[in-house]
Amino acid sequence: MSQMESLRNAQWYNPEKENYFIVHGWLNAYQSEVVTLIVSAVLQTNDFNVFVLDWSSIAMGLYSTSFLSVESIGLHLATFINEMIEEFQLNTRMFMLVGYSLGAHIAGCAGAGVNGLVRYIVGLDPAGPLFTLNNINNRLDVSDADFVQVIHTTAFFGFSSSIGHADYYPNDGTFPQPGCGLDAICAHARSYEFYAESVTTYGFTSLNCSSYRTYLEGQCGSQHVSYLGRIDIDSSAHGDYYLETNPRSPYSLT
């Protein structure tokens, strides 16, 4: 039985509902916190078909091996989505992708394989090591979806440069993050913790600003106000957005 036949026969799948894909990161699997938190948040508040791409057989190996597999895994996911579109006669805007760390770049490659026509991709602290600004073929970029939002929480594990239509920098988007001390893994994880909270609480007011320092000096009050994350993503946002958070959950100050 093909994947599409299995999907057609699946009791949980409804082709009339929107499709939400979650892609975990390096050293994660389908039961990792990044997945369980986001799945829980999404299903609490929305009636979607939720898919999880489990690429743990590769992700549990060396980072360099996982890095080299990003494009092929992304294209594998794109093939699945394209088959869904053809099988069920779906509009590409019925697809939303969220990826964490290396998974953000896999989501980007998948979006590219659907000709950049999915509704949106959210990159949760997209992985930085070994990726470059010049090469967009193996990473998330604005051509991968109708709208690309990026949430930065480390400049250590994460990609520090702005690579989305709108990039959000909680607490300057750098390591350390409040409440994490010197734990860079904790700071990296804040990206999906903030995102999951945004789905259920609609918090995290952010201001368009030229820098975090300018934001802290209160010079951005007249700039565009946006909201990090959420399912109903702010596609009117453009540029860099800054905000502060609490050191522990609930993280949003607003």
Please pick, among 32, 66, 101, 191, the residue that the annotation labels catalytic: 101
3-class DSSP string for 36-79:
HHHHHHHHHHCCCEEEEECCHHHHCCCHHHHHHHHHHHHHHHHH
Annotation says 238 is catalytic: no
The answer to whether 174 touches 182, Cβ cutoff 8 Å, is: no
Catalytic residue chosen out of the listed positions 24, 32, 105, 125: 125
Active-site residue identified among 66, 152, 188, 252: 188
Annotated catalytic residue 101: yes
The reply to whether 125 belongs to the active site is yes
Residue 249 CB neighbours (<10 A): 12
Q: Any idea which residues carry the catalytic annotation? A: 101, 125, 188
